[in-house]
């Protein structure tokens, strides 16, 4: 636990204090509470594993042509059901659904748009390695009561809240409403998320990188050059040895970086170039970039600050460089010098 830990502050109390300070309103507080409650339900399903009959393929595919796991589908349903009736949302969009989903007419509508990747790191579900839920909150444009896909296409700088839950040895919720990035740990006995780190801070420098090295031969020249300099260690131009970690769950890799620094990268490669990258801007890159920037880190596509990318599609993909500020800037320099 960090020195700033306070064991007695629950997520509910934290949110009420943010509301009293005028940083969030009652609707956003309710929205975050509802998402957190849904994540507790997902956490229980993930924790049951084979005993809950939730492992394995669902036998369906999503809009991106990816095979869905049972837990992908279940987590999506849990988040949809939890958020439909509260009156805080105008619409939802999910990595697992073709189009955005307006709030049904039988329920009152609010002013927020919620986007989520219900279960990130799907390839790790069946092997008992950490997975997570990532979410992002935008304002519904003024005068729009029935939002369509186009109303979600706002740059990351417009996010009012972002967070993820990691289902690992402990379940943690990491959250920002634009006033720092804070970590809450689920107290399983009490059933509440408790504030365990206030103001996560990413060291500006690092000696650790995260990338899927099996894609090396498909990368662009600046990425090849950057990573070969990392691997050259003390003897190379960087003058220090780097360690490597790759969980293949973005939530787990970014959580490690928020905790102790590092750089996470899923760059453009010739396999995913036609799609623009592997990771999704709206459900993965933008919320993680908001969280990382709020913790003093940086996030970039290699050529542009992530949060300033103007989205052109709900399921748009982007190259990602995210983490310790100076290291992200170094990786970007390799790209800009090459172009």
Look at residue 212 and give the partner it binds from ligand AHM, Mg ion, none, a contact being a CB closer than 5 to 8 Å depending on partner kind: ligand AHM
CB 159 within 8 A of CB 290: yes
Q: Give the residue ranges of DSSP H helices in the chain.
A: 11-20, 26-48, 70-84, 221-232, 250-260, 286-294, 325-338
The interface with ligand AHM within residues 247-286 (CB under 6 A) comprises: 248-250, 266
Q: How far is the CB of 123 from ligand AHM (least distance, A)?
A: 5
Using CA atoms, how far apart are residues 311 and 326, in angstroms rounded to an integer? Answer: 26
Give me the residue label for tokens 């509508």. 109
Look at residue 123 and give the partner it binds from Mg ion, ligand AHM, none, a contact being a CB closer than 5 to 8 Å depending on partner kind: ligand AHM
E strand or H helix at 114: strand 112-120
Q: How far is the CB of 3 from ligand AHM (least distance, A)?
A: 31
Task: Give the binding-site size for ligand AHM (rule: CB under 6 A).
Answer: 11
- Between the two ends of the chain, the Cα-to-Cα distance in Å is 44
Could you give the string, one character per residue 96-135, with x where binding to Mg ion holds by CB under 5 A and - elsewhere?
---------------------x--x---------------
Taking CB under 5 A as the rule, does residue 293 contact Mg ion? no
Distance from the Cα of residue 58 to its chain's centroid: 23
Of the candidate residues 91, 118, 121, 277, the single one contacting ligand AHM (CB under 6 A): 121
Give me the residue label for tokens 């729009």. 144
The interface with ligand AHM within residues 41-100 (CB under 6 A) comprises: 66
Q: How far is the CB of 120 from ligand AHM (least distance, A)?
A: 5
Look at residue 248 and give the partner it binds from Mg ion, ligand AHM, none, a contact being a CB closer than 5 to 8 Å depending on partner kind: ligand AHM
E strand or H helix at 184: strand 181-187
The interface with ligand AHM within residues 231-250 (CB under 6 A) comprises: 248-250
Of the candidate residues 117, 220, 269, 293, the single one contacting ligand AHM (CB under 6 A): 117
Q: Is the dihedral of CA 184, 189, 190, 191 positive or negative?
A: positive
Could you give the string, one character per residue 195-214, with x where binding to ligand AHM holds by CB under 6 A and - elsewhere?
-----------------x--
CB 28 within 8 A of CB 112: yes
E strand or H helix at 166: strand 161-167
Rg, the chain, Cα only: 19
CB 217 within 8 A of CB 95: no
CB-nearer residue toward ligand AHM: 71 or 177: 71
Of the candidate residues 123, 179, 243, 310, the single one contacting ligand AHM (CB under 6 A): 123
Contact footprint for ligand AHM (CB under 6 A)? 66, 117, 120-123, 212, 248-250, 266
Contact footprint for Mg ion (CB under 5 A)? 117, 120
């Amino acid at each position: 636990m960090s020195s700033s830990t306070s064991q007695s502050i629950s997520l509910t109390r934290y949110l009420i204090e943010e509301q009293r300070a005028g940083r969030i309103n009652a609707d956003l507080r309710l929205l975050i509470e509802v998402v957190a409650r849904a994540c507790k339900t997902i956490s229980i399903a993930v924790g049951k594993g084979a005993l809950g009959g939730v492992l394995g393929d669902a036998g369906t595919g999503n809009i991106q042509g990816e095979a869905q796991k049972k837990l992908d589908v279940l987590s999506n349903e849990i988040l949809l059901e939890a958020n439909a009736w509260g009156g805080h949302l105008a619409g939802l969009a999910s990595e697992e659904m073709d189009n955005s989903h307006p709030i049904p007419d039988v329920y009152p509508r609010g002013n927020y748009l919620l986007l989520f990747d219900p279960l990130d790191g799907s390839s790790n579900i069946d092997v008992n390695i950490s997975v997570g839920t990532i979410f992002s909150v935008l304002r519904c444009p003024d005068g729009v009561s029935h939002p369509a896909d186009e109303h979600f296409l706002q740059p990351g700088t417009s996010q009012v809240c972002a967070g993820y839950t990691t289902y690992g040895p402990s379940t943690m919720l990491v959250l920002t409403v634009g006033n720092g990035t804070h970590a809450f740990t689920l107290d399983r006995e009490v059933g509440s998320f408790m504030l365990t780190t206030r103001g996560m801070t990413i060291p500006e420098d690092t000696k650790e990188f995260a990338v899927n090295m099996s894609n090396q031969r498909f990368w662009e020249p600046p990425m090849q050059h950057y990573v070969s300099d990392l691997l050259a260690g003390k003897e190379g131009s960087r003058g220090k040895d780097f360690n490597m970690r790759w969980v293949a769950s973005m939530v787990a890799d970014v959580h490690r970086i928020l905790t102790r620094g590092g750089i996470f990268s899923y760059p453009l490669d010739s396999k995913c170039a036609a799609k623009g990258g592997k990771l999704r801007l709206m459900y993965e890159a933008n919320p993680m970039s908001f969280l990382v920037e709020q913790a003093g880190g940086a996030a970039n596509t290699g050529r542009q600050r992530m949060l300033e990318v103007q989205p052109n599609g709900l399921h748009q993909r982007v190259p990602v460089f995210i983490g310790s500020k100076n290291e992200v800037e170094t990786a970007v320099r390799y790209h800009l010098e090459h172009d």
